[in-house]
Structure 1
Amino acid sequence: MKRKTMALVLSSLMLVMAALTGCSSSNKDSSESAGGSDKQVTLNVWGMGEEAKSLPKIAEDFEKENPNIKIKVQALPWDTAHDKLLTAVASKQGPDVLQLGTTWVPEFGSAKALMDIAPMLDQYPELKPDNFYPGSINTTKFDGATIGVPWYVDTRVLYYRTDILQSVGYNEAPKTWDELKDAATKLKARGGDKYGISLDTKEQSLAFMFARQNGSKLLDGNKPLFNEAPFVEAVDYLNGFFKEELAPIDLGMDIIPAFRDDAITPMFISGPWMVKIINDQAPELEGKWATAVLPKKENNISALGGSNLTVFQYTKHKDEAMKFLAYMSKPETQLKWMELTNSLPAAKEAWNSDVLKNNKNYKVFGDQMEHSEPMPMIKPYEALSQKFLSTFEQIYRANANVQDEMNKYNKEAEDILNNK
């Protein structure tokens, strides 16, 4: 009787273990197809933000080409996605494919949560590095591994009111730092409550971007270079716009009304999403505004952002996941994604399409992508950038000495980089 009872217990335990195994990170569906040879596989894909809600439309096309692979999409809000990813890493149970913001790559790369896809790249020509902009490829590298592929990109360019700049003698966008300052000065001279340019003091990459244009390397290995001349001069240049009241500190109105109504701020720096916003919210400005690559000092390097597609280290469906990444990297797929979400394609070939070549404002982003780099791909970047924002605030609000503040910030950056 005891043996029979023990057998029943062991049998029950085996059933429970089998059930738990079925609830793996990939929710594997091992049911056989009608032919009895191919397995039906379900890929769990995590996407971020509102745009991820459009992923099922792309997934349907993928499933038609790959009838043995079913895509299950979960759209995560950006504000909760980070914590959910941390939980997935800790439990080793998560999606098969996940979208990852470029600034998150170092953190999750250091946690060894993402698969190195380099050994499999030869099998998927769509994923070859030459298909993408070099700056985008740099966002997929960590500690010698390739842990993703570029999916969509964004970079920063100059938006400007063509009619207003023409009124102060600029028939084209400013092309140098000196011209940008001169144009802003002349625009401010229109009088009233008008300014020359809007500079977003909450934009983490702004000063780092300008410092690179002035020749700063930002970091030398683990050594910060924030108190050296190239960085300090860039901060002083930016601060000059606030000090001379060429840019507002607290305007108290959104960028579109300020750009539209009386051209209070006829220039600003932003990403590709603003093209649609201006067209939607200020249609009366058609023909009166444009985009341009950033003015240059030593160069005109812009900040490169966007998202990558990565494969979870613990997936049970590596081949199927790579097949999905390859499909999402096709130029025609990326153009369809742009149509659905207004996200710019990472595949260079997509930029040869008429929809991008014939749109002057979007074409500028393609030109700027040739001169764009991601922020430093290091785990403490977020801490460094947040600390800089509070430091810069002391400069433009309290008129603190730039060199003194950069000396303090550099010491704080040393502590952050050395985990003190």
Structure 2
Amino acid sequence: MKKKFMAAALLGTVLVSSALSGCSSSSSSDASDQNTITVWGMGEEAKSLPKIAAQFEKENPKIDVKVQAIPWGTAHDKLLTAVASKSGPDVVQMGTTWMPEFASANALMDLTPYLKKHPELDAANYFDGAIETTKFDEKVVGVPWYIDTRVLFYRKDLLKKVGYDQPPKTWDELYDAAKKLRDRGKGKYGISLDPKEQSLSFMFARQNGSELISDKNKPLFNQKEFVDAVSYLNSFYKDDLAPTDLGMDAVQSFRGDAIVPMFISGPWMIKLINDQAPELKGKWATAVLPAKENNLSVLGGSNLSVFQYTKKKDASLKFIAYMNKPETQLKWKEMTNTLPSTKKAWEDPSLKDDPIYKVIGEQMDAAKPVPVIKQYESIAQAYIKSFEKIYRGQTSVQKEMDSFNKTAEKLLEK
């Protein structure tokens, strides 16, 4: 589920093109060649999948790979159609938040019996948070492919001017730093916190000790831990430390004297800043998130799954095992700027010795996915509506969270 967590899990749009080398619109139901597997890739990075597939074919000359690139915006409906017809791809890229829905529909093959045969798929190879997204009803229904998390981006030079030689490390320090940065002058803010990004509230709530949903499947959104976290987040809008309707590009507002010198986002912003604001080199950095009870971040990304109805199980398993070799994942990072899911790949100097990326890896150790339940997307959309009433001052936090909790209860019963 990569998006700008803002867009956190979700990604760009790619047109299906037969011009892509190695691409085809064939599915497993109409691929007559029994040595051919069909892979559905989602989003911008699907443009590069045929290149990796070609390398796989060299190592596995008896297997051909056909890649179909699908825009994220249409992928969900296309997958639903494939499930209904029991005819789709052999291997499918799956946003992490979609896993419970399609696993509950029995659309994803249980990989558990094949893990010993393919050691690349061993859970020990991955960050714990990433593994959480691959399990459903005690089955392993996918493997982490690429991952992302949220960290603090900040202007080192501007923070230093207001008394911070180091990035804020606690909730209190984050608020204080944002206040001092806001006080630089009219039209300035301290931090950008996208109010339409529900994951931020859930993330802050977990940092405050909230479980979000109990082990008995009951929502905890009106409990003190969650309510206090929402109040804390809302204080940034209420006190004009963070904009609600700025309408400015994140990189542009980060440049110069910086309208917004701090923001919380994912690793995709690294390339954007480097490409669009090269003059900021050495003036900005990333940091793990400030802590309250903990500094848990949200973990997103995409998994690879084998479609339940494939007739080419062995070839499909070989492909996802190849994609999850550390060396393959590092090639994939070079091609797409997405970050590897295997811990071994993070030992590569391009990641561990780069101060910007090193922080991402450190935050991965304190990152959890959103609740792995099929109702999550519905709950998230309902929360965005509730939170807007709060930050626009239309209601109190406790009152709105009482109402939202009742909505969540009904959604969880479905």
Q: TM-score range by the shorter chain?
A: over 0.9
Q: 1:25 corresponds to which letter in structure 2? A: S
Determine if contact 1:157/1:292 at 8 Å carries over to the other structure.
yes
Deviation string, structure 1 residues 93-127 (Cα, Å, up to 9, x no partner): 00000000000000100000000001000001111
Can you give the 5+ residue segments of structure 1 that lack an aligned partner in the other structure? 1-21, 31-40
Counterpart in the other structure of 2:198? 204
Counterpart in the other structure of 1:357? 352
Query: Stretches of 4+ moved more than 6 A in 1?
Result: none
Question: In structure 2, how many angstroms separate the alpha carbons of the residues matched to 1:202 and 1:370?
Answer: 26
Counterpart in the other structure of 2:74? 80
Deviation string, structure 1 residues 250-308 (Cα, Å, up to 9, x no partner): 11211111111321110000000000000001000000000000000000000000000
Determine if contact 1:105/1:139 at 8 Å carries over to the other structure.
yes
Q: 1:23 to 1:125 in 2, by over 3 A?
A: closer
The counterpart of 1:71, out of the listed 65, 72, 75, is 65
- The structure with more radius of gyration: 1
The aligned runs of 1:101-120 (5 Å cut-off) are 101-120=95-114
SS of 2:68's equivalent in the other structure is strand
Question: In structure 2, how many angstroms separate the alpha carbons of the residues matched to 1:296 and 1:26?
Answer: 52
Question: In structure 1, how many angstroms separate the alpha carbons of the residues matched to 2:179 and 2:385?
Answer: 27
The counterpart of 2:173, out of the listed 179, 202, 205, is 179
The counterpart of 1:245, out of the listed 216, 236, 240, is 240
Determine if contact 1:26/1:317 at 8 Å carries over to the other structure.
no
Deviation string, structure 1 residues 192-239 (Cα, Å, up to 9, x no partner): 110100001121211000000000000013200000000000000000
Determine if contact 2:297/2:368 at 8 Å carries over to the other structure.
yes
TM-superposed deviation, 1:78: 0.4
The aligned runs of 1:359-398 (5 Å cut-off) are 359-398=354-393
TM-superposed deviation, 1:398: 2.5
Can you give the 5+ residue segments of structure 2 that lack an aligned partner in the other structure? 1-25
SS of 2:253's equivalent in the other structure is helix
Deviation string, structure 1 residues 331-358 (Cα, Å, up to 9, x no partner): 0000000000000000000000011112
TM-superposed deviation, 1:24: 5.1
Determine if contact 2:27/2:89 at 8 Å carries over to the other structure.
no
TM-superposed deviation, 1:64: 0.4
Question: In structure 2, how many angstroms separate the alpha carbons of the residues matched to 1:124 and 1:24?
Answer: 22
Counterpart in the other structure of 2:87? 93
Q: 1:27 corresponds to which letter in structure 2? A: A
Q: Higher helix fraction: Structure 1 or Structure 2?
A: 1
TM-superposed deviation, 1:23: 8.2
Counterpart in the other structure of 1:167? 161
Q: 2:309 corresponds to which letter in structure 1? A: Y
Q: 1:237 corresponds to which letter in structure 2? A: Y
Question: In structure 2, how many angstroms separate the alpha carbons of the residues matched to 1:209 and 1:384?
Answer: 15
Determine if contact 1:26/1:315 at 8 Å carries over to the other structure.
no
TM-superposed deviation, 1:418: 1.2
Question: In structure 2, how many angstroms separate the alpha carbons of the residues matched to 1:23 and 1:155?
Answer: 32
Q: 1:95 to 1:416 in 2, by over 3 A?
A: same
Deviation string, structure 1 residues 164-200 (Cα, Å, up to 9, x no partner): 0000011111000010001001111111110100001
SS of 2:257's equivalent in the other structure is helix
Counterpart in the other structure of 1:236? 231
TM-score, normalised via structure 2 length: 0.92
Question: In structure 2, how many angstroms separate the alpha carbons of the residues matched to 1:113 and 1:313?
Answer: 5
TM-superposed deviation, 1:28: 4.0
Determine if contact 1:158/1:267 at 8 Å carries over to the other structure.
yes
Counterpart in the other structure of 2:280? 285
Question: In structure 2, how many angstroms separate the alpha carbons of the residues matched to 1:385 and 1:371?
Answer: 22
Determine if contact 1:26/1:44 at 8 Å carries over to the other structure.
no
Counterpart in the other structure of 1:261? 256
The counterpart of 1:29, out of the listed 33, 43, 51, is 33
Counterpart in the other structure of 1:412? 407
SS of 1:123's equivalent in the other structure is coil
Alignment size in residue pairs: 388
Counterpart in the other structure of 2:19? none
What is the RMSD of the two structures over their aligned residues, measured on CA atoms? Answer: 1.1
Q: 1:151 corresponds to which letter in structure 2? A: W
Question: In structure 1, how many angstroms separate the alpha carbons of the residues matched to 2:183 and 2:96?
Answer: 40
Determine if contact 2:191/2:263 at 8 Å carries over to the other structure.
yes
TM-superposed deviation, 1:143: 1.1
TM-score, normalised via structure 1 length: 0.91
Query: Mean Cα displacement is larger for which, 305-314 or 351-360?
Result: 351-360
Counterpart in the other structure of 1:4? none
